[in-house]
């Protein structure tokens, strides 16, 4: 449903939310290495998130990235909107260009319900909720976070 770029952006935002702090930035090389994302590709994604004011970017020896606002104010849908656009929630599940209620594909009505549920999750879940689940051990993820998170 989402592009690879969007998946990488979501993973990077979670990682940055976990690892950055008021006075601590996360450098591009660390994110790319720990998440196993090509550095050049990730750089373009992060710059897009900076341009759209979800991240701040600092240069210099202590430079890197951090969230531009509290994690509690960043819903996952904001990341999806920047990277893939919100029309991802209206696309045909099979990929037909013309698929709607009046000209449905074979899975249109069932997939519409699933898309709506996914959109609702992304509208309501915040980075803070996800990082809390990870820090509390309620979520098992492979984000290079097997050791205790240190902010």
Which of 56, 73, 66, 68 lies closest to 24, judged by CA? 66
Q: Please, which pLDDT band fits residue 142 given cuts at 50, 70 and 90? A: low
pLDDT at residue 143 in the model: 55
- pLDDT beyond 80 at 19: yes
- pLDDT beyond 70 at 102: yes
Instruction: Give SS3 for 108.
Output: helix
103-137, pLDDT tens digit by residue? 999 999 999 999 999 999 999 999 999 999 988 88
Tokens 């979670």 appear where?
A: 14
Tokens 């099979």 appear where?
A: 94
Q: What residue ranges define each of the domains in the chain, with the CATH number in brackets? A: 4-85+126-135 (1.10.10.10)
Contact assessment for residue 17 and residue 131, using Cβ atoms and an 8 Å cutoff: yes
The tokens for 15 are: 């990682």
Look at the alpha carbons of 60, 64, 65, 69 in this order and tell me if their dihedral is positive or negative. negative
- pLDDT beyond 80 at 42: yes
- pLDDT beyond 50 at 10: yes
Give backbone dihedrals phi and psi of 31, rounded to 5 degrees, phi first: -60, -50
Least confident of 3-12, 51-60, 130-139: 130-139
SS3 content of the chain, % helix, strand, coil (to 5): 50, 10, 40
pLDDT at residue 1 in the model: 86
pLDDT at residue 59 in the model: 92
């Amino acid at each position: 449903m989402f592009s690879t770029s969007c998946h990488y952006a979501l993973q990077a935002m979670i990682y940055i939310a976990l690892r950055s702090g008021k006075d601590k930035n996360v450098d591009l090389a660390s994110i790319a290495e720990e998440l196993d994302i090509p550095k050049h590709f990730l750089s373009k994604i992060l710059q897009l998130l900076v341009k759209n004011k979800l991240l701040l970017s600092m240069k210099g020896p202590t430079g890197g990235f951090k969230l531009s606002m509290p994690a509690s104010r960043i819903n996952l849908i904001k990341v999806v909107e920047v990277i893939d656009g919100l029309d991802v929630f209206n696309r045909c599940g099979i990929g037909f260009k013309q698929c709607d209620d009046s000209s449905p594909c074979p899975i249109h009505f069932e997939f519409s319900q699933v898309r709506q549920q996914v959109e609702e999750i992304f509208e309501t879940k915040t980075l803070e909720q996800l990082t809390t689940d990870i820090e509390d051990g309620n979520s098992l993820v492979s984000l290079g976070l097997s050791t205790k998170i240190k902010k």
